[in-house]
């Protein structure tokens, strides 16, 4: 049973992969907030549409990431596991850059979140 507050911030440069993942999100009743490359200078909170995180006029976009980025909000552990299983069963390749929305990263720009995910990914040996 989907929770009404489940949402994903989703960026994916691969249109086929993006379509397959979006189908899973929709089937599971998860709200999708697609990230437009022109808005990567906005905060994660703004991109999620969270009250108090308004659009920053003139925020310069960063170069778009080369890989998919998935940020999750409002998921229980069980629903997160179900989502990852459903993505795998749908043939969606593993998403290396994943994060959960936190009180800290909600105020980061999408570009800064991606930079942190890249550092974490590299620290773990690129796995």
Spell out the alpha helix ranges (H) of the chain.
Answer: 15-27, 44-48, 77-89, 110-123
Per-residue tokens: 26:
């929709």
What pLDDT is stored for residue 126 in this prediction? Answer: 57
Instruction: Give yes or no for residue 3 having a pLDDT over 80.
Output: no
Q: What is the pLDDT of residues 44-66, one digit of tens each?
A: 999 999 999 999 888 888 888 89
Widest Cα–Cα separation across the chain? 41
| Domain residue spans of the chain | 7-123
How far apart, in Å, are the Cα atoms of 58 and each of 38, 41, 61, 97?
11, 9, 9, 26
Instruction: Give yes or no for residue 97 having a pLDDT over 70.
Output: yes
């Amino acid at each position: 049973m989907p929770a009404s507050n489940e949402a994903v911030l989703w960026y994916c440069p691969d249109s086929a992969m993006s379509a397959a993942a979006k189908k899973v999100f929709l089937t599971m009743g998860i709200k999708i907030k697609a990230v437009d490359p022109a808005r990567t200078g906005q905060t994660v909170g703004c991109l999620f549409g969270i009250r108090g995180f308004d659009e920053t006029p003139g925020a310069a976009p960063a170069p778009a990431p080369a890989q998919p980025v998935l940020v999750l909000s409002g998921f229980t552990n069980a629903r997160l596991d179900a989502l990852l299983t459903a993505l795998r069963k749908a043939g969606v390749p593993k998403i290396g850059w994943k994060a959960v929305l936190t009180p800290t990263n909600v105020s980061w720009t999408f570009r800064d979140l991606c930079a942190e995910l890249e550092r974490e990914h590299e620290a773990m040996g690129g796995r």
